[in-house]
With several copies, the nearest count.
Chain A
């Protein structure tokens, strides 16, 4: 797995997804051997419940795709279906 970086990636879950997974925040120590995982890879690695296609992905507070490479220090969020307003 290689040596984890200083910062790694902060992963956040919300609402129903948070409750299904049983956690709200996770620190992923980005290994030197695989420094740029994608949200899709982390979704699988963390064995998150349900289909990735049913959630939206945000990196550093901006919507993006599940295949955007992550960087050390990024904040990744998996957002279940929104119901604002």
Chain B
């Protein structure tokens, strides 16, 4: 599995949120969301940074294309460099705003099959409200303000770029 990992923050982000535990990966092959979460929580616990409140979201690729025909696969394009930078900036800003303590983002790139996890967001905070709100806001930011593009490959052989996202 090829993973582009951004475990450390750039100098400017570190100054803003030096206590945030942040891990952002773009995964070019399938990832197991629960194994990722378990490992992340284990890492946090090992440094005494586990949280009382943990909110997670896992998005999986649907079986149907937006036109109602069977979906063969989604193709995920991104903007190497900007996508990682944007994810890290958005996560740092939102975790700071909500007072969250930890943030895990895993996002697929490349060809993703129906049923496969395409995105995982995990937020740890001291209270459930901030954890839940931060997880929601980060998911929206990731869907609307991070350079990812989805192309649907359909069973009739056609491929079409999606314009925007499914409604909230």
Contact = CB atoms under 8 A, between A and B. Distances in A.
Nearest to B150: A83
B126 interface: no
A63 to B, nearest CB: 8
B72 interface: no
B79 A84 contact: no
Interface stretch (B11-19, B42-50, B95-103, B137-145): B137-145
Contacts of A61: 79, 81-82, 85-86
Contacts of B147: 14, 58, 77, 79, 82, 84
B146 A84 contact: yes
Interface residues of B, number: 26
Given A14-B149, A15-B149, A15-B151, A82 B143 contact: yes
Given A14-B79, A77-B79, A77-B82, A83 B146 contact: no
- B86, B148, B161, B163: which has the most chain A beta carbons within 10 Å? B161
Contact of A15 (B118, B145, B146, B161): B161
Given A15-B77, A61-B85, A85 B139 contact: yes
Interface string B121-145: 0000000000000000001001111
A82 B118 CA distance: 15
Contact of B149 (A12, A58, A63, A82): A82
Contacts of A12: 79
B68 interface: no
Contacts of A19: 161
Interface of A: 12, 14-16, 19, 58, 61-63, 77, 79-85
Interface of B: 59, 77, 79, 81-82, 85-86, 107, 118-119, 139, 142-151, 161-165
Given A12-B79, A77-B147, A79-B79, 7 more contacts: A16-B163, A58-B79, A77-B79, A80-B149, A84-B144, A85-B139, A85-B148
